[in-house]
Structures are given as C-alpha cells and as structure tokens.
Amino acid sequence: MLAAGPARSGCEVADILRAHGRDYQMTHPMPSSHTREVSALLSCRTEDLGGRIERCDRCGFERALYNSCRNRHCPKCQGMAKARWLDARKDELLPVGYFHAVFTLPHEINPVVQCNKRELYSLLFKTVSETLARFGGNKRNGLGGKLGFILILHTWSQVLLDHYHLHCVIPAGALSHDGLRWIAARKRFLFPVRALSKVFRGMFIELLEQAYREGELIFPGGTAHLGTLPGFRKLVGKLRSSSWVVYSKKPFAGPEAVLDYLGRYTHRVAISNHRLIGMRDGKVSFSFKDRSEMGVRKVMAIDAEEFIRRFLLHVLPGGFMRIRHYGFLANRSKKQDLQRIREILRRTGREAHAREESTPALMLRLTGIDVTQCPSCRTGTMHLIAEISNETAGSLPPAPGRPARVNSS
C-alpha cells in the first residue's frame, strides 16, 4: 500500500477551491488572473498534467507521481522551487554577519493597495530600496558605501488578511565607493530604526502623492471617496500621523543561518496546506499564530467563500517579481562586486567556505524530506520506469500497489 507522505488533515487549498470555487464565482466575479491561478491549483499533481511512474530498487514498490503546476501561489509547488533558488544563492553568501529588517505599510493604505497592486507594490520596493541605499551610502550612519540586500514581499497576515511588508536580508557592511575597501557595519545593529521609519514614511508618501497627481492610481467601488481631492488629502494626513513600523531583528548567527532563514521566507504562500485543519459544513478551519499573545497558536474557522476571498487577495500581478536584489547583490553588478568583496575579505583572512550540496541534499536539510527514498521499505531508492503523458493519465488503469492518483512531496 502506498504511503502518500506525512499525515495531514486531508484538506488542501485545492480541495477547498474544488468544493466551493463555483459558489464563490457566483457571488464574486473573478478577474482572468484569478481564474488562471485557480485552474493551475486545481490541476496540480493530478492526471491533467501527466507524470511518471517510479519503482523502488529494493522492494519493487511502485507509485505514480503527477506533475506539479509550478504556480508560485500553489502550496504544493514551492519546495523544489525554493531548493533551486537557495542552491543559486549559496555562492553569493559572504563570511560576514547578516541583518534582518522588516518594513511594513500602515493599514490605512490597504484599500488603495488592493486596487493598485502593481503600482503600490512597485512603490514599496522603490521606497525601501532607496531608503536602505541612502543610509548605506551615508558615512554618518557608519558605512558610507554600496550596500547589498535582498527584499522579499509578503502581503498577508497569519489569518490571511492584507498586511503589506518587505523582509530585508542585508550583509553587515558595504563596498566602498571606489571598490577598494570593505566597510564593516556595527555588530549589534545596522541603522537606527526610528530614523529609517521617518525616511521610509516621507519617501513613500511623496511618491504616493506623485502617482495620484499623475493619474496612475484607480479608486473603484468603495474606495471612490479616496480618489477625490479631499478624500485623498485626508488619507495622506492619516498616513503622516500614523506610526510606520520598521522592525530590526538580531543579526544572524553566520551565513549558514541566513540560508536557512531565506528558505523559510522566500517561497512562502499566503497559507500552507499543513496549517489547514479541516473543511466541514461550509467552513474552513486553520491554525495561526496570534502575534498579540506572543505567537500562541490558535484555530480560526471561517466560511469557505471568505477563505477563498482572503486567499485570492494575495495573488500577485502577472510577471511581478516578489524577490529582488539590490546594490552589490543586484544582477547587473553582482558578479563583479562579490568578486571584489571576496578578494578584500581574503586579504584580511575572512574567506568564504561555501557548502556544496545537491538539490536533493538541500531539500533533505531544509525540509527533512528525502525525495529519493522509497516510502514503503524506507531503505530503497525510487527510480523512473515510465512517463505518463497528460493525454493518457486520466485513463491509466490502476495497477496492484499503484493507485490512480498520488501526491508527491
């Protein structure tokens, strides 16, 4: 009998969409982008996408594994994408400390963001990247050089409501403007968060007002009053008087800890399947961490249609990149800048020692899942014995020991 992976509640996001998606569409007209995402999630690891048959070289156990949709919003497709992305980042790690900061938009702007995702997500990236670059280039802040950093967009809270923020991973230092020196940052903190907050707020509001003047924003339905001049001025007044949160965590314990951290944050989706508890009587229950009570884990139950609405809130605009690299980590200058930094650090006795790992090994370390191990005897290795085309997968007759549909990890 086939083992299909770790024990779960048996409920997945795709199951909720399959059971209640049609009812949701009846009351919530869906844009084409949402329709495409739902279609991809429903097809993921089913006969629709074809797949392969594997056999254990020890006990002869067989399983059918159907292909992933590879959609970036799919809870089942992020493991391997994350592993490949992290594998590419290994060679970019430096033997220095790393800082983690989080820039959060105040909730007063949420209704405008929902209607202008591409514009305001881009504005958020621009504001945070220019704020960090400005602080890094200023000697009075302790550096005075070219900073490097990775920004990762998250749009959700633990209960799937809108909560727009950027996670920032920043090497603790800067490359001097002449490219000849590495300027080490303070050990305990990078920049004062209050000063960062003020610059972040001022720059974002300035760019928001510019976008409004140039007619780049829309204000449909319930946001129409914010599109009027009095309404927009009132909104800006609230933004100026509210607290803008920039949170700075303790430095990471070395480059390897950074890699593990990135693995937890880069390829997250709004909710993972393991947080789902069940679906019953038209309601979906899921676990969440209550930040107001020191991260105590609780359970929330909401109507299935409301769950779908919240999930789709976090679908990104087509082609929008939610992970971006800046400064000496930017793609256009990364190779040259990192080589210079390593040469400088090597001369000072701080050479990097990158860990060489295959993608399966990286998956095993980050997730605890050995994707090659036989799930039946736990000692053999699974090998490909046949391909299943998407034209014939649906009619593939089940064989002994091989069900018609199996989800792979």
Q: What is the pLDDT of residue 399?
A: 35
Q: Report the percentage of the chain scoring pLDDT > 90.
A: 59
Q: How many degrees, rounded to 5, is the angle at CA 188 between CA 182 and CA 189?
A: 75
Q: Over the stretch 337-364, which tens digit does the pLDDT of each residue have?
A: 999 999 999 886 555 444 555 656 656 6
Residue 232 is assigned to a structural domain of this protein: yes
Q: Over the stretch 295-335, which tens digit does the pLDDT of each residue have?
A: 799 999 999 999 999 999 999 999 999 999 999 999 999 99
Query: What is the count of structural domains for the chain?
Result: 1
Confidence band (pLDDT; 50, 70, 90) for 367? low
Give the chain's mean pLDDT. Answer: 85
Residue indicated by tokens 């993972």: 272
Q: Is 403 a residue whose pLDDT tops 50?
A: no
Q: What is the pLDDT of residue 189?
A: 83
Residue 154 is assigned to a structural domain of this protein: yes
Confidence band (pLDDT; 50, 70, 90) for 14? very high
pTM: 0.83
Q: How many degrees, rounded to 5, is the angle at CA 59 between CA 55 and CA 65?
A: 25
Residue 29 is assigned to a structural domain of this protein: no
Q: Is 5 a residue whose pLDDT tops 50?
A: no
The angle that helices 32-43 and 304-312 make with each other, rounded to 10 degrees, is: 110
* 3-class state of residue 214 by DSSP: coil
Residue 134 is assigned to a structural domain of this protein: yes
Residue 53 is assigned to a structural domain of this protein: no
Q: Over the stretch 32-90, which tens digit does the pLDDT of each residue have?
A: 889 999 999 999 988 888 888 999 999 999 998 888 888 889 988 876 677 777 777 87
Q: Is 396 a residue whose pLDDT tops 90?
A: no
Q: What is the pLDDT of residue 391?
A: 52
Domain residues for the domain of 215 are: 96-272+319-346
Q: Over the stretch 228-267, which tens digit does the pLDDT of each residue have?
A: 999 999 999 999 998 898 998 777 766 667 777 777 777 7
Residue 358 is assigned to a structural domain of this protein: no
How many angstroms separate the CA atoms of 95 and 171, rounded? 9
Q: Any idea what DSSP says for residue 282?
A: T
Residue 351 is assigned to a structural domain of this protein: no
How many angstroms separate the CA atoms of 9 and 279, rounded? 9
Residue 156 is assigned to a structural domain of this protein: yes
Q: Report the percentage of the chain scoring pLDDT > 70.
A: 86
Q: How many degrees, rounded to 5, is the angle at CA 65 between CA 61 and CA 71?
A: 155
Q: What is the pLDDT of residue 372?
A: 82
Q: Over the stretch 184-210, which tens digit does the pLDDT of each residue have?
A: 998 888 999 999 999 999 999 999 999
Least reliable range by pLDDT among 88-102, 145-159, 321-335: 88-102
CA-closest candidate to residue 377, choices 60, 5, 7: 60
